């Protein structure tokens, strides 16, 4: 069945541009991934109802049909599929008719309804902002949902966002709306299997969604792809992808299965672990963060990192985003670093582990910021800060890169920090140099890198996540910083020694 599906996908991709598909958030599911997703569904009863929102050419429904085809006793499958792209509809119908014919020949039955409309507009009645006499256009409950929803950001004031207001915060993404509505249309105990970006697992923008979603469904299985590119190799996908399986709450999950693969090769033996549910879904701060341990020793790292005495914000520390947004501050940007009446402008390329290097010439980017009465609101007084890069990818050696900005090294009254950097300071006083080096050493450590990879699936290092993390006390950080200030090459050993990391784990981290 999926041979035809792949042919139909390729036919559509050859007839449309990558720009058009990106605008619609279309990324087609590879057949190998579709088969794996279908395999995650529990035993299929005699009568089975299935929802496939954002169906495309019907790859996921075809994968479920392929699974039914292998069953000996007869099954009756009723599928509802949503697709509103006119160019996809004839391909979807052809695929479903092919599935229906093959199932019928094997003694099974497939009936289907194709809804030629927007799933969110059809299924969201009663969730968010509604007109007084709105009636549900689609109100069916399903045994299962399989989905690869579109992915694109929507404006907070858009129709989608108004309809989905209970799960909106900041700049929402349409795929979260699909997940929420799909969960809403499950029967009790019904299952949802979805492939999506991992970005919903953490962060402020998806917090309202996570709270809404996980109050209604329980997580059963997570599959993580180690490569961001192998899974959708012909698409410009930048986010990490995950497959999640949940069920509509009746009985909560006590343990969650975690599997990983390099990419779409899902036929071999997968790395697999069974983890207590509370180790995966962390609601200790009301954030419902989803943590995904990839390696065996990640579990030990999670236990250690969450045993530190205080949260970051409880130490009197503050982390904020750099206030300079360059396209909004063009009148103050300067190319010449030594121009009279200017101060340093610090961008991500200025920040290296334990260092802030300025000036640095890179691709014609500005190096300085005009100092005047109008620009003071965008500048920081020159003090001791830790600078943390806000963007990184999982392929990089370290997800967290922290530099030290020391007042003694800059004979100016103010500095400009661009908004692709976070800066750390103390809310009541200036950080000491030992504290700056100690905090930077902790951020730059393999220990925190591995922990951060379990909780963050986006390319951003969000201040919200850092505030919620547990940290060693400042006395310990000062001891670490004193050693690192004298010898930066000792940073990793100093962190692991001062934190009492076990020898076996220390050896693994030093090889990381």
Task: Write out 154-219 in H/E/C secondary structure.
Answer: CCCCCHHHHHCHHHCCCCCEHHHHHHHHHHHCEEEEEEEEEEEEHHHHCCCCCHHHHHHHCCCEEE
Quick: pLDDT tens for 114-144: 999 999 999 887 666 544 334 556 788 999 9
Query: What was the pLDDT predicted at 131?
Result: 44
Average pLDDT over residues 335-359: 93
Can you identify the CATH homologous superfamily of domain 311-510?
Answer: Adenine-n6-DNA-methyltransferase Taqi, Chain A, domain 2 (3.90.220.10)
pLDDT, mean over the chain: 90
Residue 391: Cβ within 10 Å count:
14
Average pLDDT over residues 67-92: 96
- Give the span between the Cα atoms of 334 and 132, in whole angstroms: 55
The dihedral built from the CA positions of residue 346, 352, 355 and 359, taken in this order, carries a sign that is negative
Q: Higher model confidence: residue 171 or residue 82?
A: 82
Average pLDDT over residues 260-268: 81
Domain ranges of the chain: 2-217, 311-510
How far is Cα of residue 495 from the mean position of the Cα atoms in its chain? Answer: 28
Instruction: Say which CATH architecture domain 2-217 belongs to.
Output: 3-Layer(aba) Sandwich (3.40)
| Tokens, residue 11 | 């036919």
pTM (2 d.p.): 0.87
- Give the span between the Cα atoms of 123 and 144, in whole angstroms: 16
Query: What was the pLDDT predicted at 77?
Result: 98
Query: What was the pLDDT predicted at 205?
Result: 83
pLDDT > 70 in the chain, percent: 95
Q: Which of 85-99, 167-181, 413-427 has the lowest mean pLDDT?
A: 167-181
């Amino acid at each position: 069945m999926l041979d035809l599906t792949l042919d139909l996908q390729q036919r559509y991709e050859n007839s449309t541009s990558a720009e058009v598909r990106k605008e619609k958030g279309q990324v087609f599911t590879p057949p190998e991934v579709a088969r794996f997703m279908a395999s995650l569904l529990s035993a299929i009863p005699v009568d089975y109802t299935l929802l496939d929102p954002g169906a495309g050419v019907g790859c996921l429904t075809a994968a479920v049909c392929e699974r039914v085809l292998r069953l000996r006793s007869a099954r009756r499958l009723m599928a509802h599929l949503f697709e509103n792209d006119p160019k996809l509809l004839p391909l979807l119908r052809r695929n479903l008719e092919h599935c229906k014919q093959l199932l019928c020949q094997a003694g099974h039955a497939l009936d289907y309804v194709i809804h030629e409309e927007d799933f969110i507009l059809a299924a969201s009645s009663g969730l968010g902002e509604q007109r007084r006499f709105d009636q549900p256009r689609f109100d069916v409950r399903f045994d299962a949902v399989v989905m690869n929803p579109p992915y694109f950001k929507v404006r907070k004031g858009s129709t989608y966002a108004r309809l989905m207001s209970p799960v909106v915060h900041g700049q929402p993404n349409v795929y979260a709306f699909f997940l929420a509505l799909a969960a809403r249309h499950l029967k009790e105990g019904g299952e949802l299997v979805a492939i999506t970006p991992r970005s919903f697992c953490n962060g402020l923008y998806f917090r309202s969604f996570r709270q809404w979603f996980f109050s209604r469904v329980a997580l059963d299985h997570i599959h993580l792809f180690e490569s961001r590119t192998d899974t959708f190799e012909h698409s410009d996908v930048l986010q990490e992808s995950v497959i999640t399986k949940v069920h509509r709450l009746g009985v909560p999950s006590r343990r969650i299965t975690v599997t990983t693969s390099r990419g779409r090769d899902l036929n071999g033996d997968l790395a697999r672990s069974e983890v207590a549910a509370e180790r995966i879904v962390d609601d200790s701060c009301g954030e419902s963060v989803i943590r995904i341990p990839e390696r065996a020793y990640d579990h030990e790292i999670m236990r250690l990192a969450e045993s530190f005495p205080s949260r970051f914000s409880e130490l009197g520390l503050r982390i904020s985003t750099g206030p300079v947004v360059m396209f909004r501050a063009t009148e103050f940007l300067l190319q010449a670093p030594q121009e009279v009446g200017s101060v340093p402008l610090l961008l991500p390329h200025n920040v290296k582990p334990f260092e802030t290097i300025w000036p640095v010439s890179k691709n014609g980017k500005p190096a300085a910021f005009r100092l005047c009465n109008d620009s003071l609101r965008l500048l920081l007084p020159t003090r001791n800060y830790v600078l943390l890069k806000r963007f990184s990818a999982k392929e990089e050696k370290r997800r967290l890169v922290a530099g030290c900005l020391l007042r003694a090294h800059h004979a100016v009254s103010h500095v400009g920090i661009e908004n692709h950097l976070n800066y750390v300071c103390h809310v009541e006083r200036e950080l000491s140099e030992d504290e700056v080096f100690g905090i930077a050493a902790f951020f730059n450590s393999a220990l925190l890198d591995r922990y951060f990879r379990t909780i963050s699936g986006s390319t951003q290092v969000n201040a919200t996540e850092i505030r919620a993390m547990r940290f060693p006390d400042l006395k310990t950080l000062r001891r670490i910083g004193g050693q690192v200030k004298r010898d930066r090459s000792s940073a990793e050993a100093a962190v692991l020694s001062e934190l009492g990391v076990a020898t076996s784990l220390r050896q693994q981290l030093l090889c990381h």
